[in-house]
Chain A
Amino acid sequence: MMKFRFRRQGADPQREKLKQELFAFHKTVEHGFPNQPSALAFDPELRIMALGTRSGAVKIYGAPGVEFTGLHRDTATVTQMHFLPGQGRLLTLLDDSSLHLWEIVHHNGCAHLEEALSFQPPSRLGFDGVSAPSSLSRVTVVLLVAAGNTAALGTEGGSIFFLDVTMLTLLEGQTLSPDEVLRSVPDDYRCGKALGPVESLQGHPRDPAKILIGYSRGLLVIWNRAAQCVDHVFLGNQQLESLCWGRDGSTIVSSHSDGSYAVWSLDTSSSLTPQPTMATTPYGPFPCKAINKILWRNCESGSHFIIFSGGMPRASYGDRHCVSVLRAETLVTLDFTSRIIDFFTVHSTRPEDSFDDPQALAVLLEEELVVLDLQAPGWPAVPAPYLAPLHSSAITCSAHVANVPAKLWARIVSAGEQQSPQPASGASNWPITGGRNLAQEPSQRGLLLTGHEDGTVRFWDASGVALRPLYKLSTAGLFQTECEHADSLAQAAEDDWPPFRKVGCFDPYSDDPRLGVQKVALCKYTAQMVVAGTAGQVLVLELSDVPAEKAVSVASMDLLQDREGFTWKGHERLSPRTGPLPWPAGFQPRVLVQCLPPAAVTAVTLQAEWSLVAFGTSHGFGLFDYQRKAPVLARCTLHPNDSLAMEGPLSRVKSLKKSLRQSFRRIRKSRVSGKKRVANANSKLQEANAQLAEQACPHDVETTPVQRRIEPRSADDSLSGVVRCLCFADTFLRDAAHHGPTMWAGTNSGSVFAYALEVPAATSGGEKRPERAVEAVLGKEVQLMHRAPVVAIAVLDGRGRPLPEPYEASRDLAQAPDMQGGHAVLIASEEQFKVFTLPKVSAKTKFKLTAHEGCRVRKVALATFASVACEDYAETCLACLTNLGDVHVFSVPGLRPQVHYSCIRKEDISGIASCVFTRHGQGFYLISPSEFERFSLSARNITEPLCSLDIAWPRDGSQASQRLQESPKLSQANGTPSIMLAPQSHDGSPNPAHCKGADTPEPPEATLSPMSIDSATSADTTLDTTGDVTVEDVKDFLGSSEESERNLRNLAEDEARAHAILIK
C-alpha cells in the first residue's frame, strides 16, 4: 500500500521536456465585435482605426490581420481617443479624467501596443493660482495641436489646459480661463451668465496656432495660441453640441441641442460675427432631438457632404438611431438598430489638397461597425473583413470544423457570395488599410459554425486572425412562424420621409424562440450537415451549388415510446411549410425529423458514410436513416419517477417560483432569529467577537454565509433522462472477432447505451449503400456508479487513438484505425474519465477529477498536439474545461494529467458554456455576447496577430526612459485575469525562446513536484518590469514566486497533492 501513497507523477524529466514541446497556453486573439464600445478614432495617415470600450480596452485595427489590443489598468470607460497622426501613438481619455498615451512599438519586426505614459489630473489644482471653477477634474474634450506635441483639454468649468503630450505634463501658465475669453465678448452677450463647459475644440485646418473653442452656451471663439489672444468671436445663442471646420478654414458648421445646425463664415473684416450665415433644422418644424456630431466635407465635384447623427423629430422618430448623410439634394437617413457611438469619414488630409473628397463613412454603433462607400453611387455598405457582429442574433451553440477540404471551402464561399452579391471591387473598398499582416497564410482551413437564436447557422472563416463571415444558413424559411417579416417591410415603405434606410445586420429580435439552433454537426467530406433546434426539430441538409425548389420530407419520432402518464406541457412543435419551397444555392434541407415531445435537442451526431443521424432530447434518443428516410430506433431514457422532464419548461418556471419563495422565507426567518439574538444575554460578547473578527481580517466580511448540502446524486434526480452525448463508431461491441457499426448514447444520470447497428455495406463502387433497412440492437448498457452526467463518449482504436471521422480513412486523409488490437471506449462524465476495454466492458484506466480537484467537467474534446521540436511527433490528448474555468489536458488512453491552465473566470458561466475545442489544440469561448476569445493549448498550433506598421515618428532614447510604467503584457479586453505574452516571443514555428526553455533544466523542485504542471499560469499577476518580457521570463517569474510560496507550505499539503495525481 505504501508504494501507492508515495508514487508521484511528473518526476520523469524526459516527459517534462516533451510536455513543454507539446503544450503551451496562450490567449491569442479576440474575434468579433468589442463589447460595449465607447470611443472611436482614426488615423488618416496610417489608416488605422482605434476602438475603446467601457471596460477600458483599446483595440486598433488596420488592414485585415492587423490588430493590436491593449487594456487600461483601471476598468474605466474610454471616453475619447485621439491618434497622434502618423506616429502610431494614441491618446486616450477615460471617464475618470485620466489620460493615457499608447504606443505601437516594434519588437523583432512585429508591432504591438503598449501603454507608455499616463496622466492623472490633480483633482484640486493648487498650481497656477487657479481656483475651483477651472479645476481640471472633468475633462470634456481633447484636441491635439501643434502636430500632436501639445494637447488642449477643455473642461467642464470652461477652462482650457494645455498638456505636453510627449511627457504628459501640464504646460503651466498657458491655461485659458473663461474669464479671459469673456473679456472679448460684448457686454450684452455676457449678461452675467457663465459660458458653460467647453463643448468642442477644433484646430484650424490651415493655421496650427488657432483653435476653435465652442462653449456649451453657444459661444464660438477662435483663440490664437501664438498671440495669446482671441481672434474671432461668433455669438451663438443655441446650446452647442459639436463643431466642424470647413476645409479652407473660412466656414464653420455648428450643431445644436434643438436639432439644428448653423453655418458660420469667417469674416476677416470684423472680429465678431453676431449671426450664422445659415441655420436650419433638417427634420423640423416639430421639436427635434440634438444633433450630437456634425461633419462638413467638401468635394472636388462640387456640393459638400453634411453628415450628422441625431436630430430626429422627437415625437415620431425620437427612438431611432440615425445618421443623416446630406449632399446637395440627396438625403439618406441611415437607420441603425443600435445606439450610435461615433463616426468618422475617411478623406484626404494632405495639406496640398483643397478638397476633402470623403471616400468612406465609418459609423461605430453599440453593436456593430458599419462602413459606407461614399464614392460609389447609392453609398452602399462595405462588408467589414473583421469586427464581425457575431451576435447579430444571440449565439446559442458553436462548433469547429478543422482541416476543411479545399473543395468544400470553395463551395461554401461561392454559396456565400451568391447570398450577398458584392460589387466586384468589394474587398478592395475597405478603407482602413494600415499596417501589414506578417502572419503566414494559414496551413489549413478552419470553419467555425455558430448557431443562433433566430434559427440561422453562420459559417465563419476561423483560419486566421480575422474571423470572416462566409455563409449564412437560415432554417426559419422551412417553418411557419407567427410573425412574418413582410409586415415590418410594408410598414417601412409607407413613409418616405425621412428617407430611412436600414443599415447593419444587428437584429437581436427573434421571431420565434423555437427556431433557436441547439446543436450543429457537419460532415466535411460529404457536405452534409444536421441542424437541431429548440422545438425538437432535426434538419438534415446537403450543400447544393444551384438553387432548387423542392419539398422537404418530414418524419416524426416519438421518443417516449408509449411511456404512460406523462404529458408535455412545453411549447408546441414548429409546423413546417408544406409543398415545394424555393431554396437558394447553399445548404438545402433534405429531411426534417421532428422529435416528440418537441423538447430541445440536446445532442446530435451525423454519420454520413452510413447515412445515419442520431439525436437526443431530455426524453430519449433516436436514430434515423436519412437515405431511406426511415426511423431506425427510438429509446426513452426517462427514469420512471422523473415527471419534471415531461412537463416541459413551463412547470420549471413554477418550481423556480417555489424555490424563490422558499429562499425569501429563509431570509425572513434568519432576520427574525437575528433579532432574537440581540435580546440574548451574551449578545454583547458575540458582537465583540464579530467586531474583533472583522478588524482582524476585513476581507472576511465578503465570505458569504452560504451553506451547501452534501448528498449523493439519487437515481431519480430531475432531468436524469437528458441525453448528453451521442457517438458513432465502427468497433467491437459484441465479440472480439467482429467489428461493426455501433452507436453510443450517454445521459445525465450516468447511463450509457451502446447499440450494435446492422448497416448494409456499400457496394465497392458506389457511395450509396443498398436500400435495405438499418437495424439497431442494444448491445451494452453501462450505469456509472457515480451517476454523473456523461459528457462525451469516444472509441479508441488498438493504438489508443480516436477513430477517424467517417470517410477520413477511406479517402486516405487519415491513418486507418488499428482494427487488430483491442478497442477501448473513453467515457467522460462530469466527475471522472474512464477508459473501458471492448468488447468486454471492464475498466482499464480512470481519473477522478472531481474527487481530486473539486471541479466538474464542462467540455471535453480529443485533440492532437504536435510538437514544436519534432516535425512529425504528435500526441492525442483529452482536453477538458472545468466549471472553474480551468483547462486540463490528459494523456489518452492513460488518462494521466499533463498540464492545466486557468483559462476563464469561474464566474463567467456563459464563457464556460460556450467553449469549443478544435482538433488541433485550440479553442474558442465567448468573452461577451459578441466576442470569441481564441486560445491555444498547443505549443505549435497558434493563431495570433503578427503585423507591422510603418511609423514615421522617430523614437529617441530619452522617450523610453521617461516611461512611467510598462503596461502588463496585456490580457484580453474584458479583463479576464491572465497573462498574454508578447506576440513576438512565440511566432508559430519552433522558436528560440521555447527551445531554450526546454534545454535549461528546471529547478528540481519544480520538476519533481506535481505543482509544476501549473507553472505557466497564474491569476492576476502583474509584471512591473521594463523592456521586453519573453515567455520564459514570465515563466521564471511565476515559477520563482510559486516556489517561495511552496516553501512556506507545510509538508502535509505536499502529501495531499501526491494523492491529487494518483491514478490507477
Chain B
Amino acid sequence: MNRGHRHGAGSGCLGTMEVKSKFGAEFRRFSLERSKPGKFEEFYGLLQHVHKIPNVDVLVGYADIHGDLLPINNDDNYHKAVSTANPLLRIFIQKKEEADYSAFGTDTLTKKKNVLTNVLRPDNHRKKPHIVISMPQDFRPVSSIIDVDILPETHRRVRLYKYGTEKPLGFYIRDGSSVRVTPHGLEKVPGIFISRLVPGGLAQSTGLLAVNDEVLEVNGIEVSGKSLDQVTDMMIANSRNLIITVRPANQRNNVVRNSRASGSSGQSTDNSLPGHPQPAEPSFEPEDEDSEEEDLIIEGDGAPRQIPRAAPPAESLESLAQVELSFESGHNGFLPSREASSAPVASGTNAELETRAPGHKLLEEDGTIITL
C-alpha cells in the first residue's frame, strides 16, 4: 500500500522537476523530465558532468520527503527518488573514498545482488543528515518481522537469518512464568523467556528481540509444555532459519495495524514497524526451509554439489516484503531493556509477573523487572 501511494503521488505530478545537487560546498541546479527520468547511469553521468568531476567515483544520495538521506545507485531507487520529489529533488554527492562505510559494518559483500527494498528505520528526533547510507547490495537479510497481519498485535514473529554470516545468533533463553487468560480466569503458566543478548550478536543487532521477551513459538511449533532443553534443541535445529514468535516485554513498540500506514518514515516513533504488505502466509513452510537445508554431496571425484531440489526458491518474492535491518539496536526505535523497567505494562491481560525467587539472581544482571 505504501508503494502504491508513492507511485500514485508520482504519477500525479507532470512536467519537469527541479534538481538541486550538492557536491562538497558546490551546488548545481538543473531540471529533469519527470515522466522520462531516464536510466540511473545517464543520471550519474549527468551529475558528473554538471559538477565537472568526470572521473571521480561518487556516491549519490537524495533527501526524501522526511528529510532522510537515501542512496541512489540503480534505476529503481532513482525512479523512486524522481517520483517522490516534490517539488525539488535534492541530491547529495560524496566521493566514494570519503564515504564512511565503517558505521554500517557491512563491507562484507554478500552474494545477494538482487534489488532489495530497504526501508530504514526513521528517527525524526535525532537528525543526523550526515549519516551515509550504504549501498543496497551491501545489505543482506539479517532479520525480518513477518506475519504481522495474522498475529495478534501483542506478538511479534521474528525471522533471523543465520546463513552467510559469522555473527553468532547470540541469545540465551531461560524458564520463567507468565500470566495467561484461560477459561478459569487468569492463570500463571510456565514460559520460556529470552534471558540475555550477546553484545554484537545477531539477535541484539536486529533489535527485534529483547531480554524478557516471552518465546511463544519456534518455527511454528508452540513451546508451551516444552522444557527449556526441548526449546533449546528446537531452536538449534532450526538455527539456519530461525523464526521465533515472541511476546515482547516492551509492548510499546507494537504495530498498530488499523492506523494509516505511514511507510518508511512513520510519523511517530511508536509506529516504527513497517506497514508494508506482508505475505499472507507464514513463511515457515517446511518447503521454504528446505532451500536453506541442502545437504552437501561430494561425489567420488571430489566435486561438491548441492542436493538437487524440486521447487525453485521463493525467496526473491518474499524478500521484497521484508524489512532488513542491520543497525545496532541503539539506532532504532526499540528501547534498551533498562528503559522498560519502570514502565507499567499497558495491557493487563498480557502483563507478566516475573518470578523473582532468590534462586533467580543470575538472571537479574541484565533482566528487566516488570511490575504489575
Contact = CB atoms under 8 A, between A and B. Distances in A.
Real binding pair: yes
A4 B221 contact: no
A344 to B, nearest CB: 47
A708 B222 contact: no
Given A673-B361, A781-B298, A854-B231, A708 B174 contact: yes
A590 B287 CA distance: 52
A693 B356 contact: yes
In the A-B complex, the 6 residue pairs with the smallest Cβ-Cβ separation, listed nearest first, are A854-B230, A690-B356, A712-B239, A850-B237, A781-B298, A1056-B222
A1053 B287 CA distance: 21
14 contacts: A693-B354, A703-B175, A707-B172, A708-B174, A708-B231, A709-B171, A710-B171, A711-B236, A712-B239, A781-B297, A786-B293, A851-B237, A1048-B183, A1059-B221
B304 to A, nearest CB: 8
Contacts of B232: 708-710, 854
Contact of A704 (B172, B307, B359): B359
Interface stretch (A10-18, A638-646, A652-660, A772-780): A772-780
Nearest to B188: A697
A5 B355 contact: no
Interface in A1030-1053: 1048, 1052-1053
A855 B228 CA distance: 11
A549 interface: no
A994 to B, nearest CB: 30
Given A1-B285, A689-B356, A703 B308 contact: no
Contacts of B364: 673-674, 677
A707 B230 contact: no
B162 to A, nearest CB: 6
A841 B297 contact: yes
B170 to A, nearest CB: 8
B315 interface: no
B295 A1048 contact: no
Interface in A846-861: 848, 850-856
A1063 interface: yes
Q: Is the interface of B mostly helix, strand, loop or mixed?
A: mixed
A674 B300 CA distance: 59
A734 interface: yes
B233 A1059 contact: no
Nearest to B237: A850
Contact of A707 (B177, B195, B240, B356): B195
Given A5-B281, A710-B171, A785 B293 contact: yes
A546 interface: no
B221 A852 contact: yes
B259 to A, nearest CB: 25
A761 interface: no
B220 interface: yes
A777 B301 CA distance: 10
B371 A689 contact: yes
A279 interface: no
Interface residues of B, number: 74
A707 B220 contact: no
Nearest to A687: B356
Given A686-B369, A854-B234, A666 B362 contact: yes
Interface in B197-253: 217, 219-224, 226-240, 242
A784 interface: yes
Given A693-B354, A707-B196, A1053-B222, A785 B296 contact: yes
B175 A705 contact: yes
Interface centre among A705, A710, A777 (most CB of B within 10 A): A710
A706 B232 CA distance: 12
Interface string B167-186: 01111111111000011000
A1060 interface: yes
B25 interface: no
Contacts of B292: 785
Interface string B156-174: 0000001000001111111
B2 to A, nearest CB: 24
Interface in B332-363: 353-363
Among A701, A708, A834, the most chain B Cβ lie within 10 Å of the Cβ of A708
A490 interface: no
Contacts of A777: 300
B357 A1056 contact: no
Interface in A780-794: 780-786, 788
Contacts of B98: none
B42 interface: no
Nearest to A666: B362
Contact of A1052 (B222, B226, B285, B371): B222
Given A693-B354, A781-B298, A854 B172 contact: no
A124 interface: no
Nearest to A756: B300
A741 to B, nearest CB: 15
B277 interface: no
A712 B297 contact: no
B299 interface: yes
B349 to A, nearest CB: 14
Contacts of A884: 230
Nearest to B239: A712
A712 B169 contact: yes
B37 interface: no
Interface in A642-694: 666, 670-671, 673-674, 677, 682, 685-687, 689-690, 692-694
Contacts of B217: 1056
B353 A696 contact: yes
Interface in A688-732: 689-690, 692-694, 696-697, 700-701, 703-713
A787 to B, nearest CB: 10
Among A694, A700, A781, A854: residue with most chain B CB under 10 A: A854
Contacts of B236: 710-713, 850
A625 interface: no
Contacts of A697: 177, 188, 355
Interface string A780-814: 11111110100000000000000000000000000
Contacts of A704: 175, 359
A708 B228 contact: yes
Contacts of B221: 851-852, 854, 1056, 1059-1060
A706 B353 contact: no
B362 A705 contact: yes
Nearest to B220: A1059
Given A677-B364, A705-B174, A853 B230 contact: yes
B62 to A, nearest CB: 38
Contacts of B195: 707
A700 B230 contact: no
A777 B300 CA distance: 8
A858 B292 CA distance: 25
A229 interface: no
B190 interface: yes
Given A707-B172, A843-B295, A855-B233, A786 B356 contact: no
B60 to A, nearest CB: 39
B356 A712 contact: no
Contact of A709 (B172, B223, B295, B353): B172
A706 B237 contact: no
Given A700-B357, A785-B240, A1053-B222, A706 B174 contact: yes
A856 B235 CA distance: 12
A1064 interface: yes
Contacts of B26: none
A1009 to B, nearest CB: 15
A673 B240 contact: no
B219 A851 contact: yes
Interface in B289-344: 290, 292-300, 307-309
Contacts of A856: 233
Given A700-B355, A711-B169, 12 more contacts: A670-B361, A701-B359, A705-B175, A705-B360, A707-B362, A708-B228, A712-B169, A712-B239, A780-B297, A785-B296, A853-B230, A884-B230
A780 B299 contact: yes
